[in-house]
Chains A and B, each alone.
Chain A
Amino acid sequence: MRYLPKSQSDREIMLHEIGAKSIDDLFAAIPAEYRLKGDLKIPRQYAESEIVEFFRQRAANSAQGYATFLGAGAYSHYRPVVIDALISRGEFFTAYTPYQPEIAQGTLQSIFEFQSMICELTGMDVANASMYDGSTGAAEALMMAARITGRSKGAVAATVHPEYREVITTYTRYQGMPIATFSYAKNGRVDLDTLDMAIDDDTAGVLIQSPNFFGTLEDIAAIADIVHSKGALLIVSIAEAVSLGIVKPPAQADIVSMEAQSFGVPLGFGGPYCGVIATHDKFVRQMPGRLVGETRDRNGKRGFVLTLSTREQHIRREKATSNICTNQALVALMCSIFMTVYGREGLKELATHNLAKAHYAAEQFKKAGATLLFEGAPRFNEFVVQTKTDPYAINDKLLGQQIIGGFPLKKFYPELQNASLWCCTETTAKASIDAAAKEVGL
């Protein structure tokens, strides 16, 4: 086996030194009746060339090279080549969690920079080293709000990604944390009356998403007024991180829960992605997840270290803020490199391209005869159209042109028959938009 650095004679010498007659002696603790007598029933050893060929075939059978109008929580952005060049350095990807700071400063400094950039973009004081993803991050943010306020309920907008909401249901069900839902208005934004009704004196946190699942920007200031007047915390989830290049950060939020996949992370059929929670200084001790802080060594030299770990499971055990241990460090590094490549000007320019493409597409679809839903509120790079025919039928036709159409919404919103959610990023070609417009209008 080519990954094993031992000859048979090495093994024999070592067994001899140990004083074992055969390798079986070292497995004697396992009761004989349970020991496997033969091989596991899995395929034989493959050569590297066979492995590559196997996965090439699977890749060729996964819509390789198709243009896509899908967003809905996972966004197709261009990934600068330097990202993979850098994260492929073994010093990054074959290292462990930086528990030994003297020989992990590379990972630690890069996480500190990640935290700093996320703060800069979200307008928050402090961000953690990452969460699994946006969905679990949103659930953990609600639980964090409960710890901060000492209240026990949550409220979640119907315009939050439906799969985030499913995860929240799973997470909160056994924590004694009932979750109320509030609906959306004609313009696709949170309906402020139902929001008001969903909050009571025991509501700890209110979760909204902006841009929301329909691509619409929420009126965060108006929502915050209502939430704060009732003593609850406002949690803003951001699923499309590139929006922060051109959309004001949610300054009125108490907690921001982000999915940073858009920052240079491959779509990869849904993962790994990169969640992150950001908040105000005063709430930091209730945050879940790892945090890196700056400090000095014995000679006064600047260095970085994992800190405030008394919140975490390896110290606090059942009283920890979360059970999270492994997070998404390498993916956070991808995001950091992406944010560094585009930087202050580039993120804005990139976001503006997204805005322009989606605006053009919405206009073309409208001209072609489709109805644009939720007009009257600003959008980023996604929009909802209502078509005369079933969106699945439209998508079938587009698939023949190697174009993956928008996301049919009736799966999650039965009231939105024939409506679908379309996303355009900087990678969407005008030609694809024009081709799609023809089918959408029919």
Chain B
Amino acid sequence: MNLNEKIRKATTHISQNEGLIFEKSSPGKKGYKLPPLDVPEVDPSQLLGGQAREDLGEMPEVSEIEIIRHYTRLSTWNYAVDHGMYPLGSCTMKYNPRVNEYVARLMGLAEAHPYQPERVSQGALRILKMLSEQLVEITGMDAITLQPAAGAHGELTGILMVRAYLESRGNPRKKILIPDSAHGTNPATAAMSGYTVENLKSNAAGMVDIASLEAQVNADVAALMLTNPNTLGVFEQEIHKIADVLHAKGALLYMDGANMNALVGKVRPGDFGTDVLHLNLHKTFSTPHGGGGPGSGPVACKKILEPFLPAPVVISKKDGTLGFDYNRPKSIGRVRMFYGNFGMHIRALAYIMANGPDGLRQTTEDAVLNANYIRKKLEGVYDLPYSTPTMHEVVFSDRIQSSKGLKTGDIAKRLIDYGFHPYTVSFPLVVHGALMIEPTESESKEELDQFIDAMKAIAEEAQQHPEIIASAPHNTRISRLDETTAARKPVLRWKPQSEAVAK
């Protein structure tokens, strides 16, 4: 029953056990060999005095083959885009092209030091310049910084630019408006930028309610942070009105570009009134998520905000070469050392080049097509709380299954048995018991059909054998973990047996 005939995508297989690397360590094993020292040897205790370190405690000592096996075994315990559909709504788990990885590791790029002279860094600078120009064109904005290291970091950069701009006009203002459907990073960013957060309720269609917006925007509001399409996958149809309401009161429109993959090549945020936005190169532009980073969060803006961009910016110099301009008196300053996650910039540029304008447009269309296909096939099987047209993702709720005591989190765990990574669970918060599904363009019709069949089979199980779902997953290395104890009595590092017992 737990492993039934409807589970088509996956089956169980032998998986290697593996302890912690410390548990494989024993004195004298080595995984390295240094070349002979070509300068005279030194005595650390003489050079460093009392600061010389004698011992590195419990750092592991293992051989190369053990290292390879250790991490290879660990890797096999992960689900990944390379295994199959990874429908995490809002996360955009698309294919990560291999050529991106290859070019990012080319010696001259991988080994370039950030402080090497500009005249021997023209290749790297050209990459920064080209990516900047292409992202400006794709977003319809006027200027950009590539410095932020991730989406939330981009948000901070963008909101600080808003603040600096408003300050330059005499008053930084006090509040940021944030819809109730927003990512948690938005309110956290507003707080880090010294603003208070005011919630903006969505209307029955899941969109910003213009009337409440008009009522809430006043001289204290610095900006609205708006994700478009929003986290329900819904495009804010009255986006220009929203911009007009804000602009009329001297406030700005910040667009969270987390869902820019629904828009690329079809519409440009700069054309519908956005003043500043961030992009997630690790979502829309295919740079890998890497188990939680590195990301990259460029921030594009309109002319009025350009003087406030972080320094430095890449410029063409009089002699025709490229260089960095540090002389930016109005800049908000640096948000990161050096120039950002350059390795991700290379990958994003390679992705844009592989696509071209036609490929980027087709990519967006396929992403939206896939999400709407899933919506159509699962509507009724799962409750669809908003009937508004959706774009690249669709949000269902667990209302039907909850009558059997099952929650979205349970259905997600059962989906693991069916060979899929779960969708995003319990987000956005505006939908109680949300199932947020984003297939991306990287899924074939076959893969989508398998996913749809799995979701339907689970819905059937929910009616007939809810206990299977409540106790899922059944076919993984480990079952559900005790997260409560993990948080109450945190064990956040390995300790030698004797020490751990003593404690």
- The yes or no answer to B407 lying at the interface (CB within 8 A) is no
Within 8 A of A (CB), among B93-112: 93, 95-97, 99, 101-112
Residues of B within 8 A of A121 (CB): 56-57, 59
**A197 at interface by CB-CB < 8 Å:** no
Q: By the criterion CB–CB under 8 Å, are A3 and B363 in contact? A: yes
Interface contact B482-A296, CB-CB below 8 Å: yes
Most buried by A among B73, B363, B445, B473: B445
Instruction: From known contacts A45-B355, A105-B477, A245-B56, infer whether A343 and B31 are also in contact, taking CB-CB under 8 Å.
Output: yes
Whether, in the assembled complex, A416 has its beta carbon less than 8 Å from a beta carbon of chain B, the answer is no
Give the shortest distance, in Å, between A299 (CB) and chain B (any CB).
Answer: 6
Give the size of the chain B interface in residues (CB under 8 angstroms): 202
Contact of B187 among A26, A98, A317 (CB under 8 A): A317
Query: Does B254 sit at the interface, judged by CB under 8 A?
Result: no
- Asked if A73 is at the interface of the complex by the 8 Å CB criterion, the answer is yes
Q: Which of B158-197 contact A (CB under 8 A)?
A: 160, 163, 183-185, 187-194, 196-197
| Residues of chain B from 201 to 247 with CB closer than 8 A to chain A in the complex | 234-235, 237, 239-240
Shortest Cβ gap from A183 to chain B (Å): 21
Give the top 9 A-B pairs by smallest Cβ distance, nearest first.
A270-B338, A330-B290, A59-B108, A64-B108, A90-B82, A45-B356, A174-B194, A61-B123, A270-B114
Chain B nearest CB: distance from A259 CB in Å? 8
A322 → B minimal CB distance (Å): 7
Mark interface residues in A320-341 (1 if CB within 8 Å of B CB, else 0). 1011111111110100010111
Residue interface mask B68-98, A partner, CB < 8 A = 1:
1011111111111111001010010101110
Q: Which of A94, A115, A320 contacts B82 (CB 8 A)?
A: A94
State whether B356 touches A90 (Cβ < 8 A): no
How far does the alpha carbon of A42 sit from the alpha carbon of B235 in the complex, in Å? 25
The answer on a CB contact under 8 Å between A94 and B96 is: yes
Please give the distance in Å from A19's CB to the nearest CB on chain B.
7
* A102 neighbours in B (Cβ, 8 Å): 413, 416, 473, 476-481
Q: Is A415 an interface residue (CB 8 A)?
A: no
B501 within 8 A of A: no
| Other A-B pairs, 15, CB within 8 Å; known A29-B389, A272-B341 | A35-B267, A45-B354, A91-B78, A93-B96, A101-B481, A102-B476, A105-B77, A125-B493, A169-B334, A308-B487, A328-B293, A330-B288, A340-B67, A344-B60, A356-B41
Chain A positions 262-276 with a Cβ under 8 Å from a chain B Cβ: 266-272
Answer yes or no: A224 CB below 8 A from chain B CBs: no
Docked-complex contact B493 and A58, CB < 8 angstroms: no
State the Cβ distance, A140 to closest chain B Cβ, in Å.
10
Q: Do A85 and B68 touch across chains, with their CB atoms under 8 A apart?
A: yes
Contact with B along A350-367 (1 / 0, CB 8 A): 101101110110000000
Give chain A residues whose Cβ lies under 8 Å from the Cβ of B260: none
Known A-B contacts A102-B473, A132-B149; the reply to A268 vs B343 at CB < 8 A is: yes
Which chain A residues lie closer than 8 Å to B490 at the CB level?
A: 126, 284, 291, 293, 307-308
